[in-house]
Amino acid sequence: GESVGLHLPTLSVQEGDNSIINCAYSNSASDYFIWYKQESGKGPQFIIDIRSNMDKRQGQRVTVLLNKTVKHLSLQIAATQPGDSAVYFCAENRNQGGKLIFGQGTELSVKP
């Protein structure tokens, strides 16, 4: 079964605030993690990735943190905007070729 899961199914934030979306994984052999954003009626869109030899990686307004000790992954979105409203999925690669295992997803809602 799937082992990548999210702590909260929904998250509501005020525009301009920072958002933090969490993800837990169980396979210590996983060495590559990705966050995807999925808007209604669309396919998943790549946001940011991180390899297991890193603890933190920053992109434009987004930061991914990886804690291998407790098998936890988080996505931080700075100054959240209405356009950030979507479902966010974490995914892991367990060294099984390119296959990614997805979590259930967190729906982010941004209030203006």
Residue of 45, 58, 67, 81 that binds other proteins (CB under 8 A): 45
User: Please, which residue, 13 or 101, has the CB nearer to other proteins?
Assistant: 101
The rounded Cα 21 to chain-centroid distance in angstroms is 6
State yes or no: residue 53 binds other proteins (CB under 8 A). Answer: no
Tokens of 61: 């307004």
How far apart CA 79 and CA 60 sit, in angstroms, is 11
Residues at the contact surface with other proteins, assessed by CB under 8 A: 2, 4, 31-32, 34, 36, 41-46, 49, 51, 89, 91, 93, 95-105
